[in-house]
Structure formats: C-alpha cells, structure tokens
Amino acid sequence: EPEVTQTPSHQVTQMGQEVILRCVPISNHLYFYWYRQILGQKVEFLVSFYNNEISEKSEIFDDQFSVERPDGSNFTLKIRSTKLEDSAMYFCASRLEGRDRAYFGPGTRLTVT
C-alpha cells in the first residue's frame, strides 16, 4: 500500500523557536492536509492545500503557521514561534481526489518546552 511519510518522528524545541515539519505525500496525490492531535484529544483539522494554495484553514491555523510545497514532492508545515500549547502530534495526509480515502502519515510528535 502506498505510504505518506513524515519527518522527524519526534521533535523537541524550545518555546519561541521555529520548527518545520516535513511530509512526503503519495506521489500522484493532489490534495494535502495537516491535522494535529493534542495528547488524549481528538484529531483537529489545521489546513488543506490544493493546486499550490491553501483551500481552507481552521481557526487554529493562525499567522504563526504556514505551509509550503516547495519542490513538488515535499509538503511542509512551519510554526514560526512555537508555544507550549503547540505540543501535539501533527499528521500529514494526502489524497488523489477530494472525495477519496485520505492517507495519513505516521505523525510527528512535537514537544515544546
């Protein structure tokens, strides 16, 4: 089965630092997403990306967050100045068509100290 990959698997950073979470979606997929899950809570939508632009973003996705697909294979999530409350598992997902099954990566656990 095709896989979405994410790096790193775990990132520890200090409050106020910038982090970049990386994802490699499935190669022919067109729709890309970031979700996050704070420990013990539900999976929350952050942003969707299609045709090289954001198609929707949630209230969580404020000016500190940005996404990029720099080279046609990677899909990145940047948090400019991390806060303690950004500590969570971040999942990347992709799908071929908007109504297809979404394929999720294994997640990056971000710990902000």
Partner 1 sequence: SQQGEEDPQALSIQEGENATMNCSYKTSINNLQWYRQNSGRGLVHLILIRSNEREKHSGRLRVTLDTSKKSSSLLITASRAADTASYFCATDALHGGGSNYKLTFGKGTLLTVNP
Bond from prior residue into 25 cis (ω within 30 degrees of 0):
no
Instruction: Please select the residue that binds partner 1; options are 20, 24, 43, 96, rule is CB under 8 A.
Output: 43
d(CA 76, CA 79): 10
Nearer residue to partner 1 within complex by CB, 80 or 102: 102
Q: Does 3 bind partner 1 (CB under 8 A)?
A: no
Contact pick of 2, 8, 16, 98 for partner 1 (by CB under 8 A): 98
Q: Which of 7, 35, 37 is nearest to 108 (CA)?
A: 7
Residues in contact with partner 1 by CB under 8 A are 31, 33, 35, 41-45, 48, 50, 55-56, 89, 91, 93, 97-99, 101-107, 109
